[in-house]
Structure 1
Amino acid sequence: MTDLPNDPDGWAAFFSRFETIVFVANSEAADVAELRRRHGAGTLFVFFNKVYKVLSAPFEGESLLVARSSSAGANIVYRREVETVCGFFREPGFHGILNLRARPFERLSEARQFGQRSVGHIDLCEAFAGFYPQDYAPTTGFALAVWLSEASPDRKIVLAGFSAERSERWKLFHDHDWTFEQIVLRLMARSGRIEMIGGRTPAPLDAIARRFPDIDPRDVALVATEVLAARQEGTNRAVDRLYSIVKPLTGLDGLFRRLKPKTRKQRLAEAGK
Structure 2
Amino acid sequence: MEEIPSNTQTMPAPDGGFNFLTPEAWKALLSRYSHIVLVANSEAVDFERLRFELPETALYVFFNKVYKVLDEPFVGNAVLVARSGVMGANIVHRREVTDVLRFFTGDDFLGIVNVRVATEENFSEESRFEGAKARHLDLTQILGDLYPVGRIPTSGFALALWLADLQLPGKIVLAGFSAKRSEKWKVFDVHDWTFEQIFLRLFARMGTISMMGGVDASPYSSLAKRFPQVPPIEIAMTAAEVLSERLDNANGQIDRLMSVTKSIRAIENFFRRFKPKTRKQRFLEKSKE
TM-score range, shorter chain: over 0.9
Contact in 2 for aligned 1:3/1:118 (Cα 8 Å): no
Partner of residue 20, structure 2: 6
Partner of residue 193, structure 1: 208
- TM-score scaled by structure 1? 0.93
> Quick one: structure 1 residues 33 and 272, their matched pair in 2 at CA, closer, same or farther if it must change by over 3 Å?
farther
Among 176, 182, 189, the residue aligned to 2:191: 176
- Structure whose residues are more often helix by fraction: 1
After TM superposition, give the deviation of residue 119 of structure 1 in Å.
0.1
1:40 aligns with 2:58: no
Partner of residue 44, structure 2: 29
Partner of residue 137, structure 1: 152
Contact in 2 for aligned 1:7/1:123 (Cα 8 Å): no
Structure 2 residue matching 1:112: 3-state secondary structure: helix
Partner of residue 102, structure 1: 117
Contact in 2 for aligned 1:63/1:93 (Cα 8 Å): yes
1:71 aligns with 2:86: yes
Partners of 2:30 and 2:168 lie apart in 1 by: 11
After TM superposition, give the deviation of residue 86 of structure 1 in Å.
0.7
Among 269, 275, 285, the residue aligned to 1:260: 275
After TM superposition, give the deviation of residue 255 of structure 1 in Å.
3.1
Which has the higher mean CA deviation after the structures are superposed, 5-14 or 191-200? 5-14
Where does structure 1 lack aligned partners over 5 or more consecutive residues? none
Contact in 2 for aligned 1:32/1:55 (Cα 8 Å): no
Partner of residue 50, structure 1: 65
Partners of 1:93 and 1:271 lie apart in 2 by: 41
> Quick one: structure 1 residues 134 and 115, their matched pair in 2 at CA, closer, same or farther if it must change by over 3 Å?
same
Query: How do 1:142-161 residues align onto structure 2 when only pairs under 5 Å count?
Result: 142-161=157-176
Where does structure 2 lack aligned partners over 5 or more consecutive residues? 5-18
Partners of 1:220 and 1:193 lie apart in 2 by: 25
Among 234, 238, 260, the residue aligned to 2:253: 238
Which has the higher mean CA deviation after the structures are superposed, 94-103 or 250-259? 250-259
> Quick one: structure 1 residues 8 and 27, their matched pair in 2 at CA, closer, same or farther if it must change by over 3 Å?
farther
List per-residue Cα deviations over 1:169-208 (Å, max 9, x = no partner).
1111112111111000100000000000112222111111
1:168 partner letter:
E
Partner of residue 119, structure 1: 134
Partners of 1:212 and 1:256 lie apart in 2 by: 57
> Quick one: structure 1 residues 3 and 261, their matched pair in 2 at CA, closer, same or farther if it must change by over 3 Å?
farther
- TM-score scaled by structure 2? 0.88
Number of residue equivalences: 273
Partners of 1:92 and 1:3 lie apart in 2 by: 14
Q: Identity of counterpart residues, as a percentage? A: 49
Partners of 1:60 and 1:19 lie apart in 2 by: 17
- State the structure with bigger RCO (CA 8 A, min sep 6), 1 or 2: 1
Structure 2 residue matching 1:129: 3-state secondary structure: coil
Partner of residue 16, structure 2: none
Partners of 2:62 and 2:184 lie apart in 1 by: 18
Partners of 1:12 and 1:259 lie apart in 2 by: 51
After TM superposition, give the deviation of residue 34 of structure 1 in Å.
2.7
Partners of 2:261 and 2:270 lie apart in 1 by: 15
Partners of 2:217 and 2:141 lie apart in 1 by: 34
> Quick one: structure 1 residues 117 and 104, their matched pair in 2 at CA, closer, same or farther if it must change by over 3 Å?
same
